[in-house]
Amino acid sequence: MNNQATVLVIDDIEQFRIYLKTVLEVCGYRVVTAEGGSKGLELFKQETPDLVLVDLLMPDMHGLDVIAEIHKMNCFVPIIVISGQGQLVDSIEATRRGACDYLIKPINKNDLDFSIGRCLERTRLLRENSMYRERLEQLVRSQTRELRESRARYRRLLESVTNYVYTVTVKDGKPLETIHRPGCERITGHSLKEFSADPGLWFRIIHKDDRPLVFGLAQHLLTNSHNHTIEHRILHKDGSIRWVTNTLVPSWNAQTILIPHKSISGTEVDYYDGVITDITRRKVAEEELRKQLDRVTSH
């Protein structure tokens, strides 16, 4: 719960806006609502909310365009997509444009409160990390020790509020090494020692149908500075299939390429963190709800 956080709800269905406003106020948030994308962007400028909930399909403006406009105005404000259509392509496009999470209607209070709390906390950490980077960039580039300390602190903070974090180091635009953090055994069933001894273990436990999506997104991350969040399946050590969210957070380093008579400055990915959260219970509940709805509509 965050009694000081303001949430902007953008949805064209009045009853759903009223429902979200009621639920969020019970959770302790201040809530403002808008019936469409255009009004939502106006309220965003006026209210400067801490978080935005936005529907995708609205008559006056598509939710993806709303996300892109908000991200241009303030890239730190987390955006959660609320949609009645759980299409993976929409989820990927929404995160590409700056969304923090993707929830499928109907939405219950616990899932909504958890998602908002997680997005606000992650944004706080990203803001803090950004402030450290801005301060450090004002110092001489040779003072790399202070930069490493800020990164280490960011990773420790991130690990303290997530279920499981792994780090992929990158060299010359290619993954070099994957380091798994505490918490991996709770979600995957495999220990740190097992991951360390078997570099290919993580690849094998990703569901074979989801591997192209996961590794395609990892490759895309090397040339795109935004964070990305996807949902995919993994095979637990006990043989069960678990659903997880996998959020990739890149760290970019400035570099200067020297060629005869001139130099070219640019950036490259130094490493990226993968933040893994087990969402199996939510997926099971969503599937059960879909079955119940199918039974109701079939009668």
**Per-residue model confidence (pLDDT) at position 263:** 42
Note whether 2 and 128 are same-domain residues.
yes
**Where in the sequence is the domain holding 247, given as residue range(s)?**
162-283
Distance CA 149, CA 154 (A): 9
pTM reported for the whole predicted model: 0.45
Mean pLDDT over each residue of the chain, to the nearest integer: 81
Residue 3 sits in the same domain as residue 150: yes
Tell me, yes or no, whether 147 and 194 share the same domain: no
Q: What average pLDDT score do residues 21-35 get?
A: 93
Same domain, 191 and 91: no
Over 70: is that where the pLDDT of 177 sits? Answer: yes
Q: How far is CA 285 from CA 24, 104, 234, in A?
A: 21, 12, 18
Would the pLDDT of 46 be above 90?
A: yes
- Are 192 and 79 within one domain? no
Q: Is residue 294 part of a domain?
A: no
Q: Six-digit token pair at 247?
A: 């959020």
Q: What is the pLDDT of residues 49-81, one digit of tens each?
A: 999 999 988 889 988 899 989 988 988 899 999
233 or 273, which is more confident? 233
* 216 and 105 in a common domain: no
**Residue carrying structure tokens 């949902």:** 231
Residue among 252, 250, 223, 240 nearest 283 (CA) = 240
Token pair recorded at residue 37: 């994308």
Domain match, 166 and 38 both: no
> What is the rounded CA–CA span in Å between residue 234 and residue 208?
9
What is the rounded CA–CA span in Å between residue 13 and residue 4? Answer: 26
Note the pLDDT tens digit of each residue in 193-210.
999 999 889 989 999 999
Q: Rounded to an integer, what distance in angstroms lies between the CA atom of residue 206 and that of residue 144?
A: 36
Q: How far apart are CA 66 and CA 201, in angstroms?
A: 39
Total of domains in the chain:
2
Q: Is residue 192 part of a domain?
A: yes
* pLDDT at position 265 over 50: no
- Chain Cα centroid distance, residue 217: 13
Least confident piece of the model among 158-167, 222-231, 243-252: 158-167
- Sheet containing strand 79-83, edge to edge, reads 30-34, 6-10, 51-55, 79-83, 101-104
Number of CB atoms found within 10 A of residue 141's CB:
10
In DSSP notation, 78-134 reads: -EEEEES---HHHHHHHHHTT-SEEEESS--HHHHHHHHHHHHHHHHHHHHHHHHHH
pLDDT confidence of residue 299: 60
Cα(234)–Cα(214) distance, rounded to whole angstroms? 11
CATH number for the domain harbouring residue 149: 3.40.50.2300
CATH of the domain at 273: 3.30.450.20
Residue 134 has pLDDT above 80, yes or no: no
